[in-house]
Amino acid sequence: MKVIIDPGHGGEDNGAAWGHAKEDDINLIVSFLLRCELEKQGHEVIMTREVDRAVSLRKRTDYANRLHVDLFISIHCDAFHNITVQGMSVHIHPEHSNEALDLAQRINAMLIADFKDHTSRGIRTSNFHVLRKTTMPAVLVECEFLSNPETRRFLREPENQLALARSISKGIV
């Protein structure tokens, strides 16, 4: 299987940032770990970015469409003005394919099973560019909330970053 992993944000676009925790950095780490997990299982993995640089949304989706990959996985962390909000979610486009829904359900089920002490915000439909403009099954995974002090600590721990990558990988395969 050929998979493209999209570490959200990058460069001057940090995404959510709270203290020393920047979303684009965490997204990149989890994405690298996810790539390793998938490659260990024999899958071909391509990243939309491998360094802390900005890549436009259009370039990300054009790249994936040009390569004719099987799956598009975008990795993010969530944030909200209410710092008590927490949870993981998997997003698909409102006009999703059956394959995208199946992929989202599998990843969501693995996140629920592997992170029993975390809130599942479930599968959500969103009109994000990376979901709307890709021609293959695509999901966007929100790994937790950077705005919540507890879940921010969770996201910054290397063992949790690896656990997230492994869980998402299990959902993919």
Span 59-81, average pLDDT: 97
pLDDT of residue 151: 97
Residue 11 has pLDDT above 90, yes or no: no
pLDDT of residue 120: 98
Residue 64 has pLDDT above 90, yes or no: yes
pLDDT of residue 157: 98
Span 136-158, average pLDDT: 97
Q: What is 52-95 written as a DSSP string? A: S----HHHHHHHHHHHT-SEEEEEEEE--SSTT---EEEEE-TT
Domains of the chain, first to last: 2-172 (3.40.630.40)
pLDDT of residue 14: 85
Residue 19 has pLDDT above 90, yes or no: no
- How does strand 17-18 pair with strand 71-78? unpaired
Nearest CA to 8 out of 22, 20, 23 is that of 23
Burial 157-171 (b: 16+ CB within 10 A, else e): eeebbbbbbbbbbbb
pLDDT > 70 in the chain, percent: 100
pLDDT of residue 123: 98
**106 CB burial (10 A radius; 0-12, 13-18, 19+):** middle
- Name the least confident of 9-18, 71-80, 128-137: 9-18
pTM (2 d.p.) = 0.97
Nearest CA to 2 out of 162, 102, 96, 136 is that of 136
Please report the sign of the dihedral spanned by the C-alpha atoms of residue 94, residue 165, residue 50, residue 99: negative
Nearest-angstrom CA–CA distance, 71 and 99:
9
Span 125-154, average pLDDT: 98
Mean of pLDDT over the chain? 97
Segment 20-44, tens digit of pLDDT:
899 999 999 999 999 999 999 999 9
Segment 43-55, tens digit of pLDDT:
999 999 999 999 9
pLDDT of residue 97: 95
pLDDT of residue 18: 84
